[in-house]
Amino acid sequence: MKFLLGLSRLIDRLNEFIGGVVIWICLIVVLVSSGNAVIRKIFDSSSNGWLELQWYLFGALFLLSSGYTLLRNEHVRVDILSSKLNRIHQIWIEIFGILFFLLPMALLIMFLSWPVFTEAYIQNEQSSNAGGLVRWPAKLLIPIGFGLLVLSGFSHLIKCVGFLSGKCPDPILKHQGQTSEEALAQAILSNTKIENHLSVSPAVGLSPSDQEHSPKV
């Protein structure tokens, strides 16, 4: 079990590294997308190559971050029954889901997508659009992304078994701090409160002389 937990930590470090890379890919996507929009609006010019680069990077965001998302327990969970069970039963459900759903699905897609990539690589498949990019790098993202998900699922399985044997902390416990959804909801709520405050403050936006003559509430 000690060896498996060490392997799990190694897989987690790999997915943490990939997660850091994906953050920079997100920035590149924003720059490429905004650059394409500005050039198209100002210069009335466009390039299929740059547009396809957006699609490739957008696909990379989802495929490469799938394993990292599982590591952070940020995948969407539809807890209808398991949330009412105790932690031990929840972990067993987690193990069942990994063995019979997650790993078979991810392994199947990974193996089926590999010949698609190799064929595109051997033939040096090009985009059908004028000025488009080669296709095999985009197709390579599919087996890599699902391979990372397989590794993350295997790591999660090890941690679930380790938790049941008392050698590992709770693997489905959320990381400390706010989730992305909670942070966004709090920011929206704070902005709403500020807007409501400004709308009921008659002196806001007035000059000092105007504020002296404004009615007092």
Question: pLDDT tens, 8-33?
Answer: 999 999 999 999 999 999 999 999 88
Q: What is the percentage of the chain residues whose pLDDT exceeds 70? A: 84
pLDDT at res. 83: 76
Cα torsion angle, 9, 12, 18, 19, sign: negative
d(CA 59, CA 54): 9
Of 121 and 75, the one with more pLDDT: 121
- State the average pLDDT over residues 31-44: 86
Q: Is residue 204 part of a domain?
A: no
Cα 136–Cα 139–Cα 144 angle in degrees, nearest 5: 120
Count other Cβ atoms within 10 Å, centred on residue 150. Answer: 21
CA distances from 33 to 57, 65, 89, 141 (A): 10, 20, 46, 20
The two tokens of residue 38 are 């500005």
Give the global pTM.
0.76
pLDDT at res. 179: 59
pLDDT at res. 110: 96
pLDDT at res. 120: 93
pLDDT at res. 105: 95
Q: Is residue 65 part of a domain?
A: yes
Q: Is residue 208 part of a domain?
A: no
Q: Is residue 214 part of a domain?
A: no
Q: Is residue 89 part of a domain?
A: yes
Q: Residue 103 sits in which domain range?
A: 2-199
Q: Is residue 211 part of a domain?
A: no
When divided into structural domains, the chain yields a total of: 1
d(CA 128, CA 87): 52
- State the average pLDDT over residues 48-64: 89
pLDDT at res. 184: 63
Q: Is residue 207 part of a domain?
A: no
Put residue 124 in one of left, alpha, beta given phi > 0 → left and psi -120 to 50 → alpha.
Answer: left
Give per-residue pLDDT as tens, 137-174.
999 999 999 999 999 999 999 999 999 988 888 888 76
Q: Is residue 145 part of a domain?
A: yes
Average pLDDT, the chain: 84
Of 216 and 189, the one with more pLDDT: 189
Task: Pick the range with the lowest mean pLDDT from 125-129, 161-165, 174-178.
Answer: 174-178
The two tokens of residue 121 are 């690589």
Q: 3-class SS at 126?
A: strand
CA distances from 181 to 57, 75, 91, 127 (A): 23, 12, 24, 37
DSSP-assigned letters across all residues of 1-26:
-HHHHHHHHHHHHHHHHHHHHHHHHH
Please determine, for residue 44, whether its predicted confidence score (pLDDT) is greater than 90.
no
Task: Report the DSSP beta bridge partners of residue 126.
Answer: 134
The pLDDT confidence band at residue 217, using thresholds 50, 70 and 90, is: very low
d(CA 182, CA 126): 43
